[in-house]
């Protein structure tokens, strides 16, 4: 942890419950960090996590843990009407002092809140980084049974103005484009992922929609987080939001064809995605 990182992701490592009663490691930090590592970035993951999480899937990726009494525990139930999500436990808020000092000047920083567990003010700690945000965790609330639903985002303007790349899914806003459009005017690049329909990118005063390849979906969990890592990495290399979108869509489409973190793309799949992006 004494070496500087290129890509830093902050969030919570989660325990994701599966229908068969087992569990796997999850969370934006796990999926985005694993994808960045696969892309050859010097990656650092900083996350709050409890002793109940099995971190073996992160072998080979540098990570710093903020110890907590319990991990965030999610359960996703996929129905014909979409995903129904439950939050069974929530871990502690992530603190800036949990970051290794050597990691505090990354080229790209990614804030990945899951359940109002990261203060957006942390963005100000990285003035020289490309600042990416996945906002899903600030758009959630949950009832006494843990069922997750959408909530208002009162400090949206503060976050959007501070960030360089903002990613959310259309599911996060329950299909409400009327909520999304004003946000697009407040930030540099806003991307709305749309599952099998690809993604819509707002950048440089334009709005462009990109389709996704048709694939056999095995597990969609984490695809948006991998998209959110791939996009800023490719954008930093090319300064082209449109080719970055194509690259990220290709990799996210690969990820859903395998379960969990097994969906992290292989080198040949990464090369194919880059070729598709550069062909635009």
For 178-200, what is each residue's pLDDT tens digit? Answer: 999 999 999 999 999 999 999 99
Would the pLDDT of 82 be above 80?
Answer: no
Note the pTM of the prediction, 2 decimals: 0.96
CA dihedral 46, 51, 56, 60 (to 10 degrees): 30
CA distance 19 to 152: 30
| Residue-level length of the chain | 280
Q: pLDDT value at position 214?
A: 97
In angstroms, rounded to a whole number, what is the distance separating the alpha carbons of residues 249 and 224? 9
**Could you read off the pLDDT of 37-57 as tens digits, one per residue?**
999 999 999 999 999 999 999
- Domains in the chain, CATH or no CATH each: 7-278 (3.40.1190.20)
pLDDT surpassing 90 at residue 210: yes
């Amino acid at each position: 942890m004494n070496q500087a990182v290129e890509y830093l992701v902050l969030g919570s490592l989660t325990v994701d419950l599966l229908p068969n009663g087992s569990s796997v490691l999850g969370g934006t930090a796990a999926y985005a960090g694993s994808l960045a590592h696969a892309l050859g970035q010097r990656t650092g993951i900083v996350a709050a996590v409890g002793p109940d999480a099995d971190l073996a899937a992160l072998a080979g990726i540098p990570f710093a843990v903020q110890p907590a009494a319990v991990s965030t525990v999610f359960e996703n139930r996929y129905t014909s009407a979409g995903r129904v999500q439950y939050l069974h436990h929530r871990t502690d808020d992530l603190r800036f002092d949990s970051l290794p000092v050597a990691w505090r000047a990354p080229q790209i920083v990614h804030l990945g809140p899951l359940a109002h567990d990261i203060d957006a003010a942390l963005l100000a700690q990285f003035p020289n980084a490309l600042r990416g945000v996945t906002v899903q965790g600030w758009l959630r609330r949950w009832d006494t049974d843990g069922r997750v639903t959408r909530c208002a985002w009162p400090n949206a303007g503060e976050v959007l103005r501070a960030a360089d790349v903002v990613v959310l899914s259309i599911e996060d806003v329950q299909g409400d484009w009327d909520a999304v459009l004003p946000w697009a005017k407040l930030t540099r690049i806003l991307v709305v992922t749309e599952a099998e329909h690809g993604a819509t990118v707002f950048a440089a005063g334009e709005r462009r929609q990109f389709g996704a390849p048709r694939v056999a979906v095995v597990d969609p969990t984490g695809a948006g987080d991998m998209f959110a890592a791939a996009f800023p990495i490719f954008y930093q290399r090319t300064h082209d939001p449109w080719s970055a979108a194509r690259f990220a869509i290709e990799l996210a489409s690969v990820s859903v064809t395998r379960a969990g973190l097994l969906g992290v793309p292989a080198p040949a799949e990464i090369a194919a995605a880059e070729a598709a992006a550069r062909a635009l």
